[in-house]
Structure 1
Amino acid sequence: MVSNEPRRVIIGSQNTEFAAKLKKFVEQHEYKVSDIVVMAEHLIEAIEMSYINDEPIYALIITTDLSYKMNDKRLEFLSDCLLTIRSKHSEIKFAVLSNESEGHPFLSELVGIGIYNIFVKASANNSIDVRELIKSFEFPKEFAEVSKYREYNKDILWRKIDRGASELTLKSERVFPAPKIERQIEESVPRTDVQKTLSESQNNVKSKEEKKRPERELIIDDEMEDYRIPFPSIKEKIVVKDRIIGSVVIGITGVYSGVGVTHVSVAMASFLARQGNSVALVECNESSDFKYIELAHEGIKSDGIAVGTKNFKIDGVNYFKSDQYELDLISLLSSEYTYIILDLGFYDTTKFFEEFLRADIQIVVGSGIEWKQRHLERFLSITNEYEQQKRWNIVLPLTDSQVIADVKNNLKIGNVFKLPYQPDPFDEDIETDETIENILSTAKVLTNIKKVKPLIKLIIGGCVFLIVLLILILLLKS
């Protein structure tokens, strides 16, 4: 029995012009493009929703620009996404169009997880033959064709720990039905004839393998000049309604334990929430500080009380406690949060330092005290291989302008900020708010922030009061 189920394809590319052109070609060949995804974070969700709706996915066409978020390449994250999909849905066909050339670790990981349909951009003017791309679904490339990608240049900046791709943690209770095609075939065979059918299939395996599979006839569209389209170009970011697609992720780490990462994280989250933003603050360390924050907020002073909640809310900020040292970032990124702040704690003990490198805004908390500045120097020294370092924002609590100037000069770094004394990070503080706003401004992200500061409002109000007072005095004298 032949199924009439359409063969659904998802295209993942930030270059929407390329994706639209590719969609037009693909749908000429009895495929249906069910979705075009522009962010790697949304890829897994799109596939899961298709299976929930009983619409299994036949193939994925992915371009490596899907990994971009702002100016960051996150190819490691894209590799993890593809491994997760392949492990959960082995029936899906893959085709990856890569702007990375031979010798890149990303290509090596693709081969390692069994994705062989790799199409590498050979030159600036290179194009892709859509017929070859579609043909790879039915006749995938052999291992011998892509084994050359296993060797990679170890000088290319890659994972902090060379462990290869790893599956992402998906915390979902959804049950995904089996692909409809398989179910229809199974239902078309009577149960009493199953053994007979299997036996006949096994006896005919050899003869079937010897038969050449017929190629599908390509439907030619006279309006198309040919089947070659330019390789997708990289677009650094996608902007919709003056805001970068998806949540803005802020990663905050410290150069030693106890330097004040959680204090800075809470202060920043509280500030952003006061500006009307939807904020999630995630505990990405083993300190259990969020447990005690919740207890203090509830007025409970006993350390022995166990709190079973996984998250709680204070002053508009959603706090997510560390859950057995796992991070369900996919679900958070798929939500409606404007900002997601990652409290990573001490960089040397956090399991999620890679998420710090992927964050849109990266903040390093150090100390301005002279004998503790060595921790910051050491951190910058051992991380100097990361190209993101030039964008890091160094925050030094309880220091003065002279120390900031000295640190900038000694360490040759630009974005260094002093954080004033603030006993309670939940409270509004004019100087702290100004520092946070300066950090966000330096990072060049569009935010829902009130640009007129309270101090400026106070000055303007005072000036208006003085003018009115002078006018009254002049009127009385006259």
Structure 2
Amino acid sequence: MEGSTPMKNIIIAIPDVKFAEDLKKRLELKGLKTIEIIVVLDHLLSTIEQKTQQSTSIFGIIISSSLAKNIHGKRLELLSDTMLTIRERYSEIQFIFLSDETDGHPLLAELISFGIYNIFTRNSSRNLNTNEFVDLLQKPKVFSDVKHLREINTDIQWRNRPAGALDGARSININLTGGGDSKETTAATKEPVVIEKERIIERERIIEKPVVQIVEKVKEIKVPPKLVVIGSAYSGAGSTFITMAISRILHYIGINNAVVEHPAADSVLYSLLFGDSKCPKDYKFLSEQVQQNGVLVNRSTEWVDGNSSWYPAPPEGLKHINEWTSDSTLKLLYHVKEPIVLLDVSHRWSEPSIKDICLGADELFFIVDPLMPVRFYRKETKQNTDILFEVRNMGKAANIIANRDVNVPNRKEWLGSLPLTPISVVPELPYSSVISSIWGGKMIADDEELQDELIYALYGVLKRIVPPNYPLSHLKKRRRAGLIGKLFGGSGG
């Protein structure tokens, strides 16, 4: 009709032609034009390529997992590869995914990692309607609506291994050249289909191609995933220092970990890591990618130092930080593959995007220092302390770490004034050693003169983070009478 709004183009990828045709008619009444009905999975990619070459825009795809069926059974892994390929090439296309699989299937977890949230499973008891399809294509579900689908049923075989072995990140790139249908193998194609898959499972790395498979394994005690939130009771108490110290101790004892600086926190991690000289070339800040794209499609160069991975916020701060939500934080954390994730929130506990995350954390640590009695009655400190007890009352593991312990006459009075007995007491480090480390271009926690003291001081924290069967007892015995040992008779968990 002349002057009316152009209809938006969609593709229906459902093998039930009668159902697809009926859906097509109803969607057209809602302003959506079905330009193609796909009934075979192998035709989906080539159709999208063809429409793109004809300059035909595609607004959305309604797809059923039954599309993966053929005479040999269901090819769900190929379906997942196909969906990721579309996401990589045409990130603007919206999806509605109708799954014959129930909650807990690894296919659904992979789709969420691709940023596809409009997922309906057989567990859904309600009937869907056309209006809901139209609304979801315009305004998709958010991560928090479907995060429960990341919980995988480990009895389901997936990608030639039990589903439970899929912890961690994986990236797939399927490069197709020319038109024509996509194939599952390269043998019958003139232009080969190159499938590269990378999965990182704790410290197991697999590079898989159609013909060659290279597997490298490092045997170690299994480290279950754990989110640890660390923040200061007030500005300047030292949450970033404690976070980095814990990370480097975990590095030292052989546990992969990640330090993630929350974008709402004070942006200091980049400079403390000597980012101007040590940041990898072409490094992209994860928080910026999440904010700009809503999903991490291609993992950028990673910033890794031994068993520690660094995810600082941009040094100048994240643009449009007021648009950062709890859902953004969940997406940020979902893309971090290391089993132990240390989230540094600075003193911003009351930020909504941080407070909500605390309820899903495994451990929370509040950092205080000897200035606590002076700063206790500040509005910010009282608010943060209220959050500490609020999460504790909800059954969460929340503890205090006393930082910058100094051997003064009022030391016992200070420690006794804290809202909770600290789980660890970290001594004030000698200023000369701190300056020496900085000018030497290394982190304080990597200083051999100080490392043993930090391990001793944070022993109580480590016991809560690492698996119960991990051999930690020998660490405490390593403590020697170093610089701090000469100043203090003893401190720590």
TM-score under structure 2 length normalisation: 0.45
Which of these two proteins has the greater Rg computed from alpha carbons?
A: 1
TM-score normalized with structure 1 length: 0.46
Looking at both structures, which has the greater relative contact order when contacts are Cα pairs under 8 Å and sequence separation is at least 6?
1
